[in-house]
Amino acid sequence: MTPSPNLFPQFDDGGPPLTTPILPPKLACEIPRVVSAYAMAVNAEKAAVLIVKTSSNAERDAAARDVVASRVVGFLFPALVKMVSTLGIIAIHRITDEVVSANNNAQIYAVGTLYIDHFLSSFRTTNTAIRPPSTHPSRPSMSEMEDMLIDAMKNSVNDHSSARERALARDGYHCLITNTINISSFNQHPAIKKLQSQTGAATHVVQTCHIFNESILQNIEVDANFPQETRRQHAGSALGILRMFGLTELVDRLMSFDKTDVASASGVHDLINIISLSSDPHQAFDTLKLTFEPVEGQENTYDVVFAHPQIALGLFGLKNQITLTNFADPGKFKKAAGGVIELPLPSRQLLALHAVCARVAHMSGAAEALDKHDRDLEETWVLARDGGSANLLHMMLSPLVSATA
């Protein structure tokens, strides 16, 4: 029998209301400066909600964006506290510094918008336009960091096919949360047929799923649809946030491209950034509706958490918790220049960052806004292809505000 899925906290009417403050009044943390910064986010949310409830349409629309932005800032605090054993304390201090240095609520809203554009969106994979670079009221150190990262990103490597082959082998040719066996592997390999007969698992398409959005770094120099500078600035902002969180080694690995060895996938296609999922869980993971939260004290073990119970319906054999294992014989995967290719497990830090983004996006209402943004772009080509005419939250939240007015 399939167990009931682990879920994020649920809202009665689908998404968080825009006319009522929802950030908890207190943060469970013993660091006074962090508690003070969180309180500033709570007050910023209350101020924006008040404008939504009492103002005319134009002001109300702008305030709706501010409500979501302040909630993103607020919910980042408990989400990062929850992941402190995996991500460390630097990330919490970083967001604290951003908020404490704000001179007013408008600057707190700007911080929230920055994290929507370049943090949440970096762990959310869709086919929609790249986010235009967000401005920040006072962050010279961050700007310098972005410039350095932009200069470092040259001629990224596209080696998805070899990464897929090795990731499937590492993960035993099956979906990590349902045990579904990859249908093409089943058709090609007698050993996989034997495995299926022993387990009775279903066969379906199992896909390689990137944790950090592959499009941010892949082919960054050449793209006919988006200006090169826009792509590079977005990538610099996204990686700059991770580096400011103290995750320098992780950023360096995502940016490390080995062009001398065509057999090895590197950079964003490094196996630390890839998991194997069947199509429905893959889509849910890409849109921050499914995530894997590290279990403290248990190496490579994760709770499987869904944003909504409906997403888990029909996923037979669903697991509430998984322990990642390398099923492959690494000796079978040889580098072009000699030696053996490593088959590392997915990065615990990357999965923790994805979990933070998923929880924050769901609790703040940013997830619903980003989903609507995707739907709108599928239905119209009015927006500029480079994203320059898209105000991320404006067009997405206006109908929601009108419905609650």
Residue 48: name the closest of 399, 397, 403 by CA: 397
- 105-118 pLDDT tens trace: 999 999 999 999 88
User: Given this model, what pLDDT does residue 151 score?
Assistant: 43
Asked if pLDDT for residue 188 goes beyond 90, the answer is no
- 74-97 pLDDT tens trace: 999 999 999 999 999 999 999 999
- 232-265 pLDDT tens trace: 566 778 888 999 999 999 998 888 876 666 566 6
Mean pLDDT of the chain: 80
Q: Which of 19-33, 127-141, 170-184 has the lowest mean pLDDT?
A: 127-141
Asked if pLDDT for residue 219 goes beyond 60, the answer is no
Of 67 and 216, the one with more pLDDT: 67
Q: What is the percent of the chain with per-residue pLDDT over 70, rounded to a whole number? A: 75
pLDDT tier, 334 (very low <50, low <70, confident <90, very high otherwise): confident
The residues that bridge with 99 in the sheet, in sequence order, are: none
The residues that bridge with 317 in the sheet, in sequence order, are: none
| Dihedral, CA of residue 149, residue 150, residue 154 and residue 158, to nearest 10 | 80
Find the mean pLDDT for residues 17-33: 94
User: Given this model, what pLDDT does residue 127 score?
Assistant: 55
Find the mean pLDDT for residues 260-279: 82
User: Given this model, what pLDDT does residue 125 score?
Assistant: 84
Look at strands 203-204 and 181-182 and give their pairing.
parallel
pLDDT tier, 347 (very low <50, low <70, confident <90, very high otherwise): very high
User: Given this model, what pLDDT does residue 124 score?
Assistant: 92
Asked if pLDDT for residue 388 goes beyond 80, the answer is no
Asked if pLDDT for residue 60 goes beyond 90, the answer is no
User: Given this model, what pLDDT does residue 386 score?
Assistant: 41
Contacts of 198 (CB under 8 A, 6+ apart): none
User: Given this model, what pLDDT does residue 2 score?
Assistant: 58
Of 162 and 380, the one with more pLDDT: 162
Asked if pLDDT for residue 339 goes beyond 80, the answer is no
User: Given this model, what pLDDT does residue 328 score?
Assistant: 81
Task: Report whether 175 contacts 84 (CB < 8 A).
Answer: no
Alpha-carbon span 295 to 104, nearest angstrom = 37
Asked if pLDDT for residue 364 goes beyond 70, the answer is yes
Find the mean pLDDT for residues 307-327: 89
Find the mean pLDDT for residues 189-205: 85
- 135-172 pLDDT tens trace: 443 343 444 433 433 443 343 444 567 788 888 889 98
Alpha-carbon span 178 to 170, nearest angstrom = 16
User: Given this model, what pLDDT does residue 314 score?
Assistant: 78
Find the mean pLDDT for residues 13-19: 81
Find the mean pLDDT for residues 297-324: 91
